[in-house]
Amino acid sequence: MIKEKLFLKQEFSQIVRHGETTGHLGKELLVYSEECMNELEERIDKMIALVQPVSFLFIAFLIVSVYGAMLLPMLSNMEGIL
């Protein structure tokens, strides 16, 4: 029955079976949950490592374009004065 659930990993049923035979199902599931949490945190860290530089570059581009939009009219007026 546990193998039928698609959202669970394959080793989950093995861990449940091993925990039931040894009588330490609770401890086995705690160790497994910690391992899953560590794996999830590693995936999140990798995603942040990819998304963060892209977002910083986008924000920097926006800041530079705002400055450019403010300075270009002033520079064109200065050319008319000189």
With tokens 């560590």, the residue in question is: 38
- pTM, full prediction: 0.60
Domain ranges of the chain: 8-77
Per the CB < 8 A criterion, the answer to whether 16 and 25 are in contact is yes
Residue 6 has a pLDDT of 52
> How many whole angstroms separate alpha carbon 3 and alpha carbon 57?
45
Residue 82 has a pLDDT of 60
Please give the chain's pLDDT, 82 residues, in tens. Answer: 555 555 567 788 888 888 989 999 999 999 999 998 999 999 999 999 999 999 999 999 999 999 999 988 887 777 766 6
Residue 9 has a pLDDT of 72
